[in-house]
Structures are given as structure tokens and as C-alpha cells.
Structure 1
Amino acid sequence: MRSWKERVTHMVLFEATGLAIVIPLSSVLSGHDAGAIGVLAVGLAGAAMLWNLVWNRLFDAWVPTRRRSLAQRIAQASGFELGLLVATLPVVAWWLGIGLVEAFWLDLGFMLFFLIYALLFNTTFDHVMRRRLAQEGGR
């Protein structure tokens, strides 16, 4: 099982890199002000970091291996994004002053982006960690 230190490192890297990509991209695609999107994205990132810790600890307990299949990776990413979507939809609508339907489509866009991003990031992160742990074990 992964340590809390590894999970916190994972969480911070995941969110910082994701924000650097999603803020300008979502502002351009949605037509909403980058400042409003940025503040919303940072707030959502805070919620996502807490959910990330909880969800990935649970997922680690259910699937306790670093060598996960594509189906397991998809389940990990989908479960995280679905949980976050349900929790954040009202916040997105309120912050941007839009209806729930428009907020759903915007949140769905975030979800689809982060679903693909999470799949790639988590696979890369685990690959790097496996190599790092193998090097430490060989010393």
C-alpha cells in the first residue's frame, strides 16, 4: 500500500499540473472570464485534493497493486471524477451564475478532461514510483 507521503505528493503534482492546463483551456472553450474560472478551479482543486486522498486510499485497499489493468485504471479515474462531479455541480452553477444544466455540461467537460488526464497521470506516476522503488531496493 502507498504511504501518506506518496499520496500527498501524488495529489499535489496531479492538481498543480491539472490547473496549469485546465484554467486557460476552460476559459477559452467556455467563454467565461479566466479569473472567475481560475478562482473556481482552485476551489474545486481543494475539494478534489481531499476527495483524491479519500478515494485513492479506498481504491488502494480494493486494488492493492501498482500494476493495474486498463479496466482498473478506468474504474479508478471514473469513480474519482463521478464523485467529484456530484459534489461540485451546485458550486459551479452558483459561482458562475449559470443554471444547473449549463453547469452540468461545463462540469462534464472538466470531468472528461480530468478522466483522460487522470488515466495518463496515474499510469505515469506509478511507473515512475515503481522505478524509484526498484532503484532504492537495489542500493
Structure 2
Amino acid sequence: MKNILVVEGDRYFRNLLCEFLRDNNFHVIEAKNIFMGSYLAKEQYPDLIIYSLEIVEEIGYQTFQKMHDNSTNFQIPLIFLTKNIDISYPLKKVSQMKAGILLKKTVGFSRILEVIQIQLDQDIEDFRFR
């Protein structure tokens, strides 16, 4: 069973996503902020991390990048979810960080599941931005 860390500040969305992932046979670790997420990533060794981009934006892209650059967990695949309608700026920032995939939260859980399964089957060099 693969471990997925979900770092999401919106409790309602986090609960729905985590329940969906558990129903699809993932072990899910939950964090409501980036600092708890960073701690849990070091303690739990997840196979993949899903971040709310709004949480990353709260601390800033540079701070987020430094946290991951200084972490042994930087090789963990990352998926960023955003509620923003216009994703051109966030997509540019995520691309610059070379950190993972960006999806709109509105794509639906089934699409998120597809991307998770693809990422768990790929090496970090094969990441694509969506």
C-alpha cells in the first residue's frame, strides 16, 4: 500500500480527498499546514505528496523551495492542487521550481487518481506539468 501525504488547509476538501484516496487503497497522512506537512514528510516517508498550492503561496515559493532543498524528501513526487481559475502564474512558478505537477482542484478526484498512479510509476525525471 502506497503512502500519500495530503497537505491541505481546507478541512472539507482535505477530508473528501483523503477519504477518496483511502477508498482507493492508499494509506493517507493528513496535514493542515505546510509546517506539519514538512514534519510528517520527514517522519512518515510518503511515496507522494499532494500540496494545496494556496498553502505553498502563504509561505512563498522561495521558502517552500528551501524547505525541500534542505530535505531528504526532495525526491518524493509532488502534485500541487489549486482552486485558482487562471493557473498561468502558479504554473510558471511550479515549473521554475521543477517540483511537480499542477492540477486544478476542479479536475475531479478520478483525474487526480490517474495522475497519482502515473507519478507513482515514474521516475522524478519524467515529471510533466499539466
- For normalisation by structure 2, the TM-score amounts to 0.26
Kindly indicate which of the two structures has a greater share of residues assigned to helix: 1
Question: Which is higher, the Rg of structure 1 or of structure 2?
Answer: 1
Give the alignment's TM-score, normalised by structure 1. 0.25
Higher relative contact order (CA 8 A, sep 6+): 1
